[in-house]
Amino acid sequence: MSQEREQDFRPVNQVLGSQPSLGPIPADQILPWTVIALASYFIVNGVFGGLFQEEFQKWLWTILMTGWGIGTWWILTGGRSWSFLSKFIGVPAWTRGFARYQSLLEVNHEAKNRKTKRRRRRK
């Protein structure tokens, strides 16, 4: 009886349905985190580089700013990214309306079309 039960079940790959990752870092976060790290480096060392007297202070602020940016991005888009990012997709406003076509040239094309259609059908 136990052999019959074992034949009923199929082995399943545990990786199916999981999100790809590079160690603890989700794969869809690598590019944004790289951009955040580079931007914080250029802001601290390029824009505010003259304010810091020691190299240690520059790196400290670069790491703090990078950590803040990455943390914020991960909170907003990690896990269930659709819950935050779907707020920026424009939803169409459905309205019901009827507008009759009016020609700018004051030519009644509908009457001409109706006459030609009737003639073709009758022949």
**64 within domain boundaries:** yes
In our burial notation (b when 16+ CB lie closer than 10 A, e otherwise), range 11-31 reads: eeeeeeeeeeeeeeebeebee
**104 within domain boundaries:** no
Domain interval for residue 30: 25-90
This prediction has a pTM of: 0.53
pLDDT tens string 25-81: 778 888 999 999 999 999 998 888 788 888 888 999 999 999 999 999 888 887 666
* Mean pLDDT (the chain, rounded): 77
pLDDT tens string 91-122: 777 777 777 776 676 666 566 666 555 555 55
| Selection from 44, 91, 93, 51 nearest residue 69 by Cα | 44
**65 within domain boundaries:** yes
**5 within domain boundaries:** no
Q: For the chain, how many structural domains are there in total? A: 1
**36 within domain boundaries:** yes
